[in-house]
Amino acid sequence: MEFDTRLDDAIRKSRDYLLSRQVEDGYWIDELEVNMTITAELIFFMHLTGTVDLEKQEKLAQHLLNKQREDGSWPLYFGGPCEINSTVESYTALKLAGFPADRPEMMRAREAIFANGGIKKTRVFTKIFLAMLGQVSWEVCPAVPAEIILFADWFPFNIYEMSSWSRGTVVPLSVVISHKPVFHPPEGRGIKELFTDDDSELAIQPDGSMFSSWRNFFIYLDRFIKFVGKSSWKPFRKMALKKANQWIVDHQEEQGDFAGIQPSMINSMLVYHYNGMSKDDPKWVKGLEAIERFLIHKDGGTLMQACVSPLWDTAICANALCDSGMPTDHPALVKAGEWILKKQVTGKGDWIVKNPHATPGGWAFEFYNELYPDCDDTAEILIFLDRLNLPDQSYKLKETERAMSWLLSMQCKNGGWAAFDIDNDKELLNKVPFADHGAMLDPPTADVSGRVLWMLGRIGFKKENPQVRRLVDFIKNEQESDGSWWGRWGVNYIYGSWLALTGLKSIGEDMSQPFVRRAMKWYEDHQNEDGGWGETCESYKDPSLRGKGESTASQTAWAVMGMLAGGEAENPAVKRGIEYLLSQQKEYGSWYEDEFTGTGFPIHFFIKYHMYQQFFPLMALSRYRLSFA
């Protein structure tokens, strides 16, 4: 079959497949797969709150067993090494669910835990859950005093200097920790068999004197705070708890969600429980309903997602369909656009603290998250809406103007855009003992900024615009010496480079410049023998692995689109990438990949968006075809 015919057939089949997956209301959504801590923690939650559903617990446990590997461990992402937190939490959840320690799966899990450093190597969040479950002392956990909520907005360490996801977790956790609750599992359901002599000191230890590093300074400060906390004299505690509890109530959505993510949801519901809230209270009932909406039942088991992504999936899917040549007044696109327009945020959220003069607008990632619209989703949606031909164009124009006003107000001082906040970049916060996940901040990044620039170019902004000039400078300054760009929200340099280059192309940058040529050479040098591109999640920890990994459909699509943005449509490397995508397409127009190519927290938390393997290949094939139209 001729190449052009195969390309056309692949685009048609992919388009038909995606259309078959659209939900009646107009949106697209698929599983957001993450590591097993999220599912294990739902079992913890049920035991801690006395709400164990035995049938649900059995299915959650079955999913944990389905995901256990031959060596007994649970990884952070597909193909990754043993991840100690995921393995310890999965083991603990299975013990709570009644699995005996001498069961073969449990014996293998223990071997993996011991081989990878044991309890001592677990993160702060895991130790906090173990403290609640009565398995370790609260003394090993860093202090999170409720009084932090009293710090004024101008104070360097107030909660609004934290990223939105940290803020939504730290505030409820500070209340939980003030209770220092201890649950005692039934006999035989604890994890005492996991402890060794090496676990005699589980608290974070300094590696020098107090003033030898910021890390050590905060460890000693943490010890002082815990020492003072033992005193009965806490003059501001009552005021702090009152404010924190009200903050939590105010941050619960009408539908029951908290910040649209599992950690905020679980910890806020634990606050309700430890504060003695009735299980008949509407806030509790709605909260449980929100948790239920995060569950997926499959393969004889049940999993909990960390988040859901309907607006993200819908906008990217719709843009891929537009790229494929679908008429912009197609009923499926119209239905998607009308659903999206109804989901725009119209109220003030946490972003207002650092951006007080802006008018609300934009879109969130999830179904319900009115307080946290984000710039990435908003830019992607505005690209789609700009292309869309709706029956009521005046309504679309009004709503896009509202969103555009909000998005433009979210530019940071250095010219870039972050995900949820402006100027959320006080690096010292990542040095506090609580922040061992390294994600206390939400600074501007090249990938989000590239998508915003892509959108601005598409709707007609010019390079001479002052905001655009600052944005272009920011993106250029973020380029690595080898020509690539780091990716904050996708794995990794393949993703960041695609969005940076696409934004620069969209705004009219001369793509023959040396800095762009370096990026093209980087893509060429990192293509795999099979014609595809891939990158391991380990590249966040070890930059020498950037651009290296098994080929995947989504990452190959990003690389192809990055090279197309650089004017390389006729480059043989691009043709080989297209051939790879054609060869990997399934009979009914879909693609499949095991790898996790989305990023939650670099190094610490990764995501497999199940839609990525579908709409990004269609987008790449379609743009390649358009390059020769």
Residue 225 lies in a domain: no
pLDDT (tens digit per residue) in 115-127: 999 999 999 999 9
pLDDT (tens digit per residue) in 238-273: 999 999 999 999 999 999 999 999 999 999 999 999
* Phi, psi angles (nearest 5°) of residue 529: -60, -30
Sequence-ordered alpha helix ranges (H) in 72-213 = 84-96, 104-115, 124-132, 164-179
Express as a percent the part of the chain with pLDDT over 90: 88
DSSP structure class, residue 143: P
Closest to 32 in 3D by CA, of 368, 262, 252: 262
Residue 147 CB partners (closer than 8 Å, separation 6+) = 236, 237, 240
**26 shares its domain with 45:** no
3 state SS of 234? coil
- Quick count: other Cβ atoms within 10 Å of Cβ 620? 28
**293 shares its domain with 322:** no
**109 shares its domain with 24:** no
pLDDT band at 629 (very low <50, low <70, confident <90, very high): confident
What is the residue whose two structure tokens read 């050590």?
216
Rounded to the nearest integer, the mean pLDDT of the chain is 95
Q: Which of 249, 273, 304 is the last residue before a domain boundary?
A: 304
**312 shares its domain with 295:** no
Residue 76 lies in a domain: yes
* Integer Cα distance of 234 and 244 in angstroms: 16
- Quick count: other Cβ atoms within 10 Å of Cβ 531? 21
**135 shares its domain with 251:** yes
pLDDT score, position 64: 98
Task: Assess contact for 269 and 284: CB atoms under 8 A.
Answer: yes
**261 shares its domain with 326:** no
Express as a percent the part of the chain with pLDDT over 70: 97
DSSP structure class, residue 442: B
* Integer Cα distance of 266 and 446 in angstroms: 32
Closest to 94 in 3D by CA, of 83, 78, 110: 110
Task: Assess contact for 73 and 121: CB atoms under 8 A.
Answer: no
**117 shares its domain with 163:** yes
DSSP readout, 289-351? HHHHHTEEEETTEEEE-S---HHHHHHHHHHHHHHTT--TT-HHHHHHHHHHHHT---S--GG
3 state SS of 367? coil
Q: 174-178, 431-435, 602-606: which has the minimum mean pLDDT? A: 431-435
Question: Is the pLDDT assigned to residue 427 strictly greater than 90?
Answer: no
**63 shares its domain with 21:** no
Number of helices (H) and strands (E) in the chain: give both, helices first: 22, 5
What's the domain range around 154?
A: 35-191+232-304
Q: 190-199, 254-263, 458-467, 605-614: which has the minimum mean pLDDT? A: 190-199
* Integer Cα distance of 306 and 404 in angstroms: 29
Task: Assess contact for 65 and 105: CB atoms under 8 A.
Answer: yes
Strand partners, 135: none
pLDDT (tens digit per residue) in 484-513: 999 999 999 999 999 999 999 999 999 999
Half-sphere exposure of residue 199: CA atoms within 13 angstroms, side-chain side: 18
Residue 204 lies in a domain: no
**270 shares its domain with 400:** no
**510 shares its domain with 556:** yes
Residue 205 lies in a domain: no
Closest to 172 in 3D by CA, of 45, 56, 335, 77: 45
Residue 207 lies in a domain: no
* Integer Cα distance of 436 and 445 in angstroms: 21
pLDDT (tens digit per residue) in 53-98: 999 999 999 999 999 999 999 999 999 999 999 999 999 999 999 9
Burial class (CB in 10 A: 0-12, 13-18, 19+), 489: buried
* Integer Cα distance of 217 and 230 in angstroms: 20
Distance of CA 568 to the CA centre of its chain: 31
Task: Assess contact for 41 and 63: CB atoms under 8 A.
Answer: no
3 state SS of 423? coil
* Integer Cα distance of 145 and 180 in angstroms: 12
| Number of structural domains found in the chain | 2
* Integer Cα distance of 336 and 384 in angstroms: 10
Residue 224 lies in a domain: no
**297 shares its domain with 406:** no
Question: Is the pLDDT assigned to residue 423 strictly greater than 90?
Answer: yes
pLDDT band at 224 (very low <50, low <70, confident <90, very high): low
CA dihedral 125, 126, 127, 133 (to 10 degrees): 110
Catalytic sites, residue numbers: 376
Helical (H) or strand (E) element with 283: helix 282-293
3 state SS of 599? strand
pLDDT score, position 145: 87
Query: What integer is the mean pLDDT of 177-206?
Result: 89
**Inter-residue long-range contacts of 80-85, CB under 8 Å, 24+ positions, other chains counted:** 80/537, 80/538, 82/112, 82/115, 82/116, 83/35, 84/113, 84/116, 84/117, 84/118, 84/121, 84/122, 85/37, 85/122, 85/123, 85/125, 85/126
pLDDT score, position 214: 66
**446 shares its domain with 338:** yes
Residue 531 lies in a domain: yes
CATH number of the domain at 338, please.
Answer: 1.50.10.20
Residue 558 lies in a domain: yes
What are 398's two structure tokens? 């009004």
